[in-house]
Amino acid sequence: MPINESRIRDLAGFKGEDAPVTSLYLDVDGRTRIRARDVELALERIVRPVRERHHQEGQTSVCADVDRMEAYVRGGIDRSHVRGLALFSCSAHDFWEVVELAVPVPDRLVVNHTPYVRELEALVARHERFAVLLVDRQRARLFLFLQGELLDKQEQIDLLPRHDDDGGQLGKDQVAVHTAAAAHRHLRHAAAAAFAFHQEQGFDHLVLCGPDDVTAEVERDLHAYLRERLAARVHLPVQASDDEIRQAVEDVEAGVERARDVVIVARLRQAVGVGAGGAAGLQAVLEALLARRVDTLIVSEGYEAPGWRCPACAWVGTLGRQCPLCAAGMEAVDDVVEEAVEEALAQACRVAVCRDNADLDVMGRIGALLRY
């Protein structure tokens, strides 16, 4: 099952009171990490420093966490469907959660007082529901995908009339007219089935697959509401395999995400340019968050930066060590970007994680659209 907000909230609600929580994200994508050994080596690389540090500090719970995680990964993962893995453990509380994902996640190991759910949040924010309508002149198939997982499928067949046993009563032209009328009816059925599918399941985007002349005709028959949600027309045969369809959706989705990133970053650039409604760069964004002015936080995937956090008043900034607000001594934090994302989520801001967007990188890899 794809990860959803309620599962994330449940995870985030766990507090390791007697010992910290270890959170592991691992890319187990068989397309890039071909051998099981490649996955194990990647895991070893991120686990080693954590194990050494916590062993020295006598954190036996954390050491037990990473042992259990390694044993889990070595035990074998069904990588035909799983491309990303998130494991959460707090051995002192016998807390253990496994989240299998159909999309890869960047490798990461975090030890903190709560489960580190930022990657899961980003996943939910980034992925929308995609429906696929595969159609030719007799068949229609509907698929629903979320986060790379197939959630539902339906099939519908309208057989074309057979004219080989009509005793020759119909002329060739009449047969052609009958067949064309039946095909038109079928395509209208297909368009109606797509709308019914939307009423039942709900989706954000529709992908039409089939021969060009067929998809063009179906597009005209689509409910206006679905036409607005049409993300792409793809040349794929109606009998394509589930994996071929999944791949087609992934390609369309990547394009939709890029386009969405471009729009939001353009809004940010414009707001920053006119000096109203936008903040760019880590310090400016942190200040806007502390002032609770952020509507949408926009951050470049993989961006991390060290900074400072005040234990007394929760001020977060890039410069230490004295808190500018309450003058208390601040603590160094490995990654204040994570603090910013968590703060944004806690304030119910939208969070957009952009991939390879050069305009965002130029603005400091982080920005915010402001409420006022």
Question: In this complex, which beta carbon is closest to Zn ion, that of residue 98 or of residue 326?
Answer: 326
> Which one among 265, 280, 289, 310 touches Zn ion, defined by CB under 5 A?
310
Question: In this complex, which beta carbon is closest to Zn ion, that of residue 197 or of residue 308?
Answer: 308
Binding mask 262-301 for Zn ion (x = CB under 5 A): ----------------------------------------
Would you give the DSSP letter of residue 223? -
* SS3 of 240-276: CCHHHHHHHHHHHHHHHHHHHHHHHHHHHHHHHHHCC
> Which one among 105, 323, 345, 368 touches Zn ion, defined by CB under 5 A?
323
Question: In this complex, which beta carbon is closest to Zn ion, that of residue 175 or of residue 325?
Answer: 325
Would you give the DSSP letter of residue 101? E
Distance CA 88, CA 2 (A): 17
Q: Which two tokens mark 371?
A: 């409420």
Q: Which amino acid is at 209?
A: C
Would you give the DSSP letter of residue 318? S
> Which one among 259, 312, 319, 332 touches Zn ion, defined by CB under 5 A?
312
Binding flag, residue 41, Zn ion (CB under 5 A): no
> Which one among 23, 101, 315, 370 touches Zn ion, defined by CB under 5 A?
315
> Which one among 96, 313, 333, 335 touches Zn ion, defined by CB under 5 A?
313
Binding flag, residue 82, Zn ion (CB under 5 A): no
Question: In this complex, which beta carbon is closest to Zn ion, that of residue 183 or of residue 325?
Answer: 325
Window contacting Zn ion (CB under 5 A); options: 24-32, 152-160, 268-276, 309-317: 309-317
Count interface residues toward Zn ion (CB under 5 A): 8
CA distances from residue 184 to 174, 220, 240, 241, 346 in whole angstroms, order as listed:
15, 11, 22, 25, 52
Question: In this complex, which beta carbon is closest to Zn ion, that of residue 230 or of residue 325?
Answer: 325
- Strand pairing class (205-209; 130-135): parallel
Window contacting Zn ion (CB under 5 A); options: 47-55, 131-139, 310-318, 357-365: 310-318
Contact between 153 and 238 under an 8 Å Cβ cutoff? The reply is: no
- Strand pairing class (307-309; 278-280): unpaired
> Which one among 259, 326, 332, 346 touches Zn ion, defined by CB under 5 A?
326
Strands across the sheet containing 294-300:
278-280, 366-370, 294-300, 350-354
Question: In this complex, which beta carbon is closest to Zn ion, that of residue 303 or of residue 308?
Answer: 308
Helical (H) or strand (E) element with 217: helix 212-221
The Cβ of residue 159 has, within 10 Å, a number of other Cβ atoms equal to 9
Window contacting Zn ion (CB under 5 A); options: 45-53, 124-132, 215-223, 306-314: 306-314
Question: In this complex, which beta carbon is closest to Zn ion, that of residue 277 or of residue 320?
Answer: 320
Question: In this complex, which beta carbon is closest to Zn ion, that of residue 322 or of residue 347?
Answer: 322
Binding site for Zn ion (CB under 5 A): 310, 312-313, 315, 323, 325-326, 328
